């Protein structure tokens, strides 16, 4: 898939559970998969939930550092739904915050959710982190996120989950 299939370089996000994150073989597995697929390390974005990172923050700090040294990007998934400790955020060396879809889902109808999303985007940008919004389901959601300078968006507005072959076809259609 990817360039071999005639597609431009794309980034791949992979969710990693707290259990997987604590696994001693995770770095070796990621390295092997990168070698096997030919995916550039900087095109891989490992997403670990906020709670998962907090559970293993002392054990996970060396792993985070090794992943980032290898060029792999690391994001805190579901940001705002767990501990949301700013002291941990400062200590954890991550590349991105992913706003939980529960906030994004109501951004055009709930002033409270709009305010939370704006605050997370502002905080992320001030910390030089990419900010990704999950759960985007409408053009209105996307427009509001763009107006707040959110870096990336994911959700059903763009596509439902599809198999790799279907993804290549969809991506190719968008390029033409």
Q: Is the pLDDT of residue 5 over 60?
A: no
pLDDT for res 130: 92
Q: What is the DSSP string of 143-154?
A: HHHHHTT--EE-
Q: Which residues make beta-bridge pairs with 74?
A: 46
Compute the Cα dihedral for 40, 15, 124, 137 and give only its sign.
positive
pLDDT for res 119: 93
pLDDT for res 122: 94
pLDDT for res 115: 94
Domain ranges of the chain: 1-79, 95-171
Q: What is the pTM of this model?
A: 0.73
Number of helices (H), then strands (E), belonging to the chain: the values are: 9, 6
In whole angstroms, give the CA distance from residue 92 to residue 73.
13
How does the average pLDDT of the chain come out, rounded?
83
**Interval 23-56: pLDDT, tens:** 788 889 999 999 998 889 999 998 887 767 766 6
pLDDT for res 146: 96
**Interval 69-85: pLDDT, tens:** 899 998 888 777 665 56
Residue showing tokens 């092997």: 32
Residue showing tokens 């670990």: 48
Q: Residue 57: which pLDDT band, with cuts at 50, 70 and 90?
A: low
pLDDT for res 156: 92
Residue showing tokens 């095109």: 43
Answer for the pair 77, 105: CB distance below 8 angstroms, yes or no: no
Residue showing tokens 């994911």: 154
Both tokens assigned to 50: 């906020």
Interval 131-142 mean pLDDT: 95
Closest CA to 78 of 15, 137, 145, 164: 15
Q: Is the pLDDT of residue 1 over 50?
A: no
In whole angstroms, give the CA distance from residue 153 to residue 29.
28
């Amino acid at each position: 898939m990817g360039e071999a299939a005639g597609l431009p370089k794309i980034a791949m996000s992979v969710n990693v559970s707290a259990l997987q994150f604590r696994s001693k073989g995770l770095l070796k597995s990621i390295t092997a998969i990168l070698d096997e697929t030919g995916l550039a390390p900087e095109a891989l974005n490992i997403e670990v939930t906020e709670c998962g990172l907090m559970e293993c923050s002392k054990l996970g700090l060396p792993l985070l550092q090794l992943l980032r040294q290898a060029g792999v990007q690391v994001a805190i998934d579901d940001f705002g739904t767990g501990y949301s400790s700013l002291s941990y955020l400062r200590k954890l060396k991550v590349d991105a915050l992913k706003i939980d879809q529960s906030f994004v889902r109501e951004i055009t109808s709930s002033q409270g959710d709009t305010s939370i999303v704006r605050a997370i985007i502002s905080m992320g940008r001030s910390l030089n982190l990419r900010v990704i919004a999950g759960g985007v389901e409408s053009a209105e959601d996307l427009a509001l996120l763009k107006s707040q300078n959110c870096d990336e968006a994911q959700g059903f507005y763009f596509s439902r989950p599809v198999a790799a072959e279907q993804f290549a076809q969809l991506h190719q259609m968008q390029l033409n």
